[in-house]
Amino acid sequence: MSLRERVKAVLYGLYARRLRAQLRTVEPPRHVGMIVDGNRRWANRQDGVSVAEGHRAGADRMLVFLNWCDEAGVKVVTLYLMSTDNVTNRNSQEITDLTEIIADLAADLAEVPDWKIHHVGDVARIPEQLADALTRVTAETADRDGLHINLAVGYGGRHEITEAVRDIIREHEVKGRGIDTLAEDITLENIAAHLYTAGQPDLDLVIRTSGEQRISDFMLWQSAHTELYFVEALGPDLREIDVLRALRDFTRRQRRFGS
């Protein structure tokens, strides 16, 4: 390591320590969402690195990211790993690679004591092997009370809301109630109770890597009042100071909720 690199590393460490100290005096967001983006671009910029290796590097970085969130006192984190659009539009080999990578990530997360893993998404829209892996880690960690991690796989916000409304209609029919009273069941509270995240706090902060500034059908209902933060770093290059800055920025914003 050159002298310049050593100096840079020291300064980075001091700055990160300062940010951590600032965050210890404030209330962190309860629920943080991460839109993982830029893995393919990262791979394309490396010599001899495949897209699959880019996705795996991004998954490895998410494990580190979750540790940073846990240390900062965040209670719930949702990782947006594979959308319904990804399943439809990506080539079959990339989906096969992602299936293995996400299953491995889920297994690694389940190895961390106290972490609770929960799949959010439509199991019918993802490969059976991956659905089984996510179902397994969800069951294995169900009784834990530490960091709650939602893995959004085969997920789409519009699809989630549509399915929630359909579930309400099905329940209405099972109860034998008529169409004339159906509108009474379509309430904000009842829709929220039928989402994948029922019982969880809404998103406080959404972070997206790679510099892209869009929500990409991510938790449209739960992000009604969320704060957005965009990081230039590609997924595998995400640094602790990027996350600490996002958390600090959140604490400095005035959340009005329409008032």
* Residues annotated catalytic, as ranges: 37, 86
Q: What CA–CA distance (Å, rounded) separates 10 from 8? A: 5
The Cβ of residue 259 has, within 10 Å, a number of other Cβ atoms equal to: 5
Q: What CA–CA distance (Å, rounded) separates 107 from 134? A: 9
> For residues 22 and 53, is the Cβ–Cβ distance under 8 A?
no
User: Residues of 41-68 as b/e, b for ≥16 C-beta within 10 angstroms?
Assistant: ebbeeeeeeebbbbbbbbbbbbeebbeb
> For residues 104 and 134, is the Cβ–Cβ distance under 8 A?
no
> For residues 205 and 33, is the Cβ–Cβ distance under 8 A?
yes
Q: What CA–CA distance (Å, rounded) separates 148 from 222? A: 16
List, in order, residues 6 or more apart from 19 with CB less than 8 Å away. Answer: 241, 244, 245, 248
| Burial tier of 126 (Cβ tally within 10 Å: 0-12, 13-18, 19+) | buried
Give the position of tokens 């019982």.
Answer: 199
> For residues 224 and 202, is the Cβ–Cβ distance under 8 A?
yes
Q: What CA–CA distance (Å, rounded) separates 15 from 123? A: 42
